[in-house]
Structure 1
Amino acid sequence: MMRHLGAALLVALLTLIVGMGCQSWDGHMALGRYSTRPIYDAGIRTVRVPVFKNKTQVFQGNSGIENELTTVVIRSIEGRTPYKVVPENQDADTELTGTIAAFSKGIVNRNQLNEVREAETYLTVDLVWKDLRTGEILSQPHRRELDTPTAAFNLPPIGPPVVTPVRITSTGSFIPELGQSITSARQVNFERIGQQVIQMMERPW
């Protein structure tokens, strides 16, 4: 009798856990009041995203990639965060600026005819996310141990704070034999950069 009662209690407990921890409509897991859903700053409503700068060699076919990348980043922000992207000539809570530092291609392997069989593309972008209301650099790691100087070497620097961009990279690949090209690989680069941008905008746990 006690064995059956214990088994029934175990089943009831497992049912309760499954009911509390389940997958939500957007694919994130939730257990009670805890969730894997990204957390964003509720005090931020809008972000301005000027066209990224391009420091790569445009004569190598990289002209215009800053426009494509900016479009993908804006689409990622609007589609996967609660923030609204506003035009450059409008006021905004924050501003995201980016610079394409490098874009290159590397050959992974060749076939017996010495033709490119597989190649990869590499994209490097520097980002700065700034709160336009306070001047705070949201993308810059905040070291609390330096807020209160306790020694001479911990004294804050004189003058305006140095803004250190966050550098993110992405890799794409393409196989010409399958009809793929550097254009399709570059699009993968853009999408992966967009994903990293929205991850950067999440509040730390």
Structure 2
Amino acid sequence: MRTLLLPLLVLAVLLFGGCGTYQLGNQGLFPSDIRTVGVDIAGNETWRRGYGERLTEVLVREIEQRTPYKVVPSSRADTVLKVNIIGENKSVTFQNDWADPRELALGMTIEAQWIDRRTQNLRQSQHIDMAQEALKISATTPLITEFGQSNATSSQILMQKIAQHIVGMMENPW
């Protein structure tokens, strides 16, 4: 019995020894020195009314769901996320024989800055350079009216994609 127990003990130490600092959940993905994030209302340089408020709402929801951070007012936050919608476009991706648009692509370009209020520096990341300027993010989504989509539904999907991308940038570099 002892001869069997010793190899099993050695095997268990070898197998589970590498799991000492592993963390379950999303805590290991994001910087641990940050507890709170302030999200300012997104600026909107497009002609579409309400885009800034809608993007801010989607972004706050995404941060609360995917990160260990709590969204608080900017004046009390460790870091502040500033987002500005700088462009929106719509283009035809497919048309029928009579030049009627059947599928459109809705696109949006934003600038994002994640500022550490404690040091007044931009959060640095090795895989995304945010050194001196705001990072520009673009995304597109299809708009097919035959499937019941509208500008409102497509722009909501587009804002969700952008929010997921921004929260993904908040992760620690691999």
User: Normalized against structure 2, the TM-score is what?
Assistant: 0.79
Q: Work out whether 1:204 is the aligned partner of 2:173.
A: yes
- Distance in 2 (CA, whole Å) between partners of 1:193 and 1:136 is 23
201 and 100 in structure 1: CA distance in 2 versus 1, 3 angstrom threshold? same
Asked if the contact 1:49–1:74 (Cα under 8 Å) also holds between the matched residues in 2, the reply is yes
- Distance in 2 (CA, whole Å) between partners of 1:130 and 1:39 is 19
Percent of counterpart pairs with the same letter?
Answer: 35
Q: Deviations over 1:123-177 (max 9, x none)?
A: 11100000001112015669xxxxxxxxxxxxxxxxxxx7311111111111111
Determine the structure 1 residue equivalent to 2:145.
Answer: 176
74 and 111 in structure 1: CA distance in 2 versus 1, 3 angstrom threshold? same
- Distance in 2 (CA, whole Å) between partners of 1:52 and 1:139 is 21
Deviation at 1:42, TM superposition (A): 1.1
Asked if the contact 1:140–1:164 (Cα under 8 Å) also holds between the matched residues in 2, the reply is no
Asked if the contact 1:139–1:165 (Cα under 8 Å) also holds between the matched residues in 2, the reply is no
Secondary structure in structure 2 of the residue aligned to 1:193: helix
Between the two proteins, the alignment pairs up a number of residues equal to 153
Deviation at 1:180, TM superposition (A): 1.2
Higher Cα Rg, which structure: 1
User: Normalized against structure 1, the TM-score is what?
Assistant: 0.67
Q: Work out whether 1:187 is the aligned partner of 2:163.
A: no
Asked if the contact 2:125–2:172 (Cα under 8 Å) also holds between the matched residues in 1, the reply is no
Gaps of 5+ in 2: 1-11
Determine the structure 1 residue equivalent to 2:107.
Answer: 122
